[in-house]
Structure 1
Amino acid sequence: KKKKKKNSHQKKKKEVFGCSYLVQVATILWLFWPYKYQNPHNFTMNLERVPNEEKLGLCRKYYLAGFALLPFLWLVNVVWFFKDAFLKPVYTEQLQIQTYVKRSGLGLLFWVTVLTTWITIFQHYRAEWGEVNCDNSGFRVQVDVKLFNPEDLLVKVTGDFVEVQGKHEEKKDGAGVSTRQFNRRYRIPKGVDTMALESAVSPEGILIISAPMLQTEDSGIPT
């Protein structure tokens, strides 16, 4: 039950964070949305009816708002004002609008690049870094150790952490020695029975560390 409460609390925190982010987005859109130029039959806006000075003001606002961890506003800026910035005849505010549209595009490109790079790296290395799972059935860590032999590995519990160490030495031609090693720590959640922690290497070269949850009085088994 304690574990369920913890999972429920974590889920609630994520939901609150997600809701607060959506509220932030909705607030910014509400503050900046030019209602007087909105199509009365739907929620779209006709930029053709917006004076150039107000277009510049809107473009600037959406560009600056993008720095509030809302990069999709840069996408809105590019989509809305690209035509006015580059395809229409020259007018006084056009050069400034072009600047904000270009900067919005660069900011959006930066965010997409960073996000894509992180997702790619995480997907590629998550097994090597260690994939941690903890639910009602217990605690489980998987680490990619294909480059190590079982005797090269050391798993130990230190305080609230489980440490995984690996060191492999390989003699090269002559007197040289090649050494490969790593050291990782994973926090053990509360409620895990560390005395029953086990580790084994699968045929695929994945080190699996597992431990059950402590039995409580609620489960009918005394601790």
Structure 2
Amino acid sequence: GQRTVYVEGFSIDKYEVTNRQYRKFVEATRYPRIPDHWQQNDNRPPPGEEDYPITFVSWYDAKAYAKWAGKRLPTEAEWEKAARGTDGRHYPWGMEFDKGKANTWESWGGSTGQTKAVGTHQGGVSPYGIHDMAGNVMEWTATEIKRYSQTKDGGGGQREELPLVLVRGGGWSSDGVDSSTFSRTITEPYIRSGGVGFRCARSDP
């Protein structure tokens, strides 16, 4: 089916980037950084998880994949528009949280959760038909928050540090509140987590 969805002014992936897609990138580019959970499996995705979202990738890894794919990461504003449309809804499907519509902490009934194949929760799509924007994995965006520190010479100058980056959408370990279309997480760009993945976007010509 159609893999990207047109939203006013840009297109965005219908699904989170999967282990299968990321493996093609790693093999085509000989990318040096292999996701942690592949390393116990001969540097391949765990068996049966080819269509699960890629995780244990940093912001830099995600940007490298997007560039290889001829795309980019979505900005925070683009991500939010794709997740909730224009009516201010709190979740991709409406105003009320529904544990049956997203892979979140509640849907595991208190037991330890994990990622699921992308598109598993058909009832949880956004107004644009985009999947898993409230659960499964949190997603890197292109939006940076600049950081500055005082220089040591005491002259009042400032030195720019590594930016922080905005991550959007809940994941399998998030609760309903943290999975809303308004929820945002600020994190270091080099973090590699089992709860964070991404999807790609591209500007329309």
Both proteins in one fold, TM over 0.5: no
TM-score (norm 2): 0.22
TM-score (norm 1): 0.20
Instruction: Select the structure with the greater relative contact order (CA < 8 A; seq sep ≥ 6).
Output: 2
- Rg bigger for which structure? 1
